Amino acid sequence: MTQIRTLFWDIGGVLLNNAWDRTERKQALTKFNIDEADFQSRHEPLVPSFERGELTLDQYLDQTIFYRLRDFSRDAFRDFMFSLSRPNLESLTVARSLAQSGKYFMATINNESAELNAYRIQTFDLNEIFSLFVSSCFVGMQKPDEKIYRLALQLTQMPAEACCFIDDRPANLEAPARLGMHVIHMESAAQLQKALKTLGVDI
């Protein structure tokens, strides 16, 4: 088996909770007493553009929340969105340890909107762990489209068989597996460590 030299990581659901997924949206809608059906009808068509960096957070909020007067401020809503992010401390410890070993090139492949992605990188010191962020908002592509994985391989100039991608959603693992990358379906930090060891990754 070819030695693993590059580890690609999802962020939301692996290293942190999700930035603005169903659970986080539900919390915000409840807190600010926003009609869920109305919000969803506005949110769903915008998700691809929002996560590809084609819409700023303010533009997204203009169309989903502040298309009419509200009894709360834009800043209050934005601050709450950011505050929903939480670390998965166990998996972050695994990733940090691997980065500090110097044995592996560490990168992400993740779907996130620009402002939330930047906030999470800075707040949780992800730039101390990863040398490259193949984020949908930076590259204009999203998982599970095969193009984003091809781009990640091109940017790192690593053969697919020397790479491993870790994600919590099985659908996001199909394209990289087809390209020849090793893949791990993240279920827990303990399971992740065991799967990495099975692939010969030195933890």
pTM of model > 0.75: yes
Per-residue pLDDT tens digits for 9-25:
999 999 999 999 999 99
What is the spatial distance between Cα 50 and Cα 173, in angstroms, rounded to a whole number? Answer: 22
Percent of the chain with pLDDT over 70: 100
**Mean pLDDT of all residues in the chain?**
97
For 6-18+87-198, CATH number out of 3.40.50.1000, 1.20.140.10, 3.10.290.10, 3.40.630.10 equals 3.40.50.1000
User: 6-18+87-198 and 22-83 share one CATH topology?
Assistant: no
Q: Dihedral of CA 31/34/35/38: which sign?
A: negative
At residue 106, what are phi and psi to the nearest 5 degrees?
-110, 130
Element (H, E) at 182: strand 182-185
Q: How many angstroms from the chain centroid is the CA of residue 145?
A: 14
35: helix, strand or coil: coil
Which residue in 194, 11, 6, 182 sits closest to 112, CA to CA?
Answer: 11
Per-residue pLDDT tens digits for 65-107:
999 999 999 999 999 999 999 999 999 999 999 999 999 999 9
* Dihedral over alpha carbons 132, 134, 138, 144 (to 10 degrees): -170
Structure tokens at 39: 């919000």
Which residue in 34, 101, 43 sits closest to 70, CA to CA?
Answer: 34
First to last CA, the chain: 18
Q: Which CATH superfamily is domain 22-83 in?
A: Putative phosphatase; domain 2 (1.10.150.240)
87: helix, strand or coil: strand
Domain locations along the chain: 6-18+87-198, 22-83
